Amino acid sequence: MTTTRISERKSYPVELPRIPIPPGDSIMLCAEERELSPQVLAEELKLTSAALGELLCGDLPISEAIAISLEVLFGADADFWLRLEAQYREDLAFQAASIAAPPKRKRA
């Protein structure tokens, strides 16, 4: 019986799925941590309750104004929130392109 050391094993690249996660998930975690109700959160972000719901589920993008309000409210830089939004939109586009593209066939 031969044994293989971990350092001798070949590594194979693993492609992880790109799962779009709306920035609203992070916003909700921050709000819950600070025990902010949805009503207070909407007021602080200068949004209606309906607009807050759209923001949290990813339908309303984080604008520069919202990002600045989030920075003031939670302390994370506005740039952080804008990058989170950009990553979410990129992941959505990647997912849409992956679904639309036919699967690659392996040659025999």
- Judge whether 9 lies within some domain: no
Q: What is the pLDDT averaged over residues 52-78?
A: 98
- Judge whether 2 lies within some domain: no
User: What DSSP string describes 64-100?
Assistant: HHHHHHHHHHH-S-HHHHHHHHHHHHHHHHHHHHHHH
- Judge whether 32 lies within some domain: yes
- Judge whether 33 lies within some domain: yes
Q: How many structural domains is the chain composed of?
A: 1
- Judge whether 42 lies within some domain: yes
Q: How confident is the model at residue 7 (pLDDT cuts 50, 70, 90)?
A: low
User: CA 40 to CA 70: how far, in whole Å?
Assistant: 13
- Judge whether 18 lies within some domain: no
Q: How confident is the model at residue 33 (pLDDT cuts 50, 70, 90)?
A: very high
pTM for this prediction: 0.77
Q: What is the extent of the structural domain holding 89?
A: 23-97
**CATH number of domain containing 80:** 1.10.260.40
Q: What is the pLDDT averaged over residues 46-61?
A: 98
Count Cα atoms within 13 angstroms, Cβ side, for 5.
2
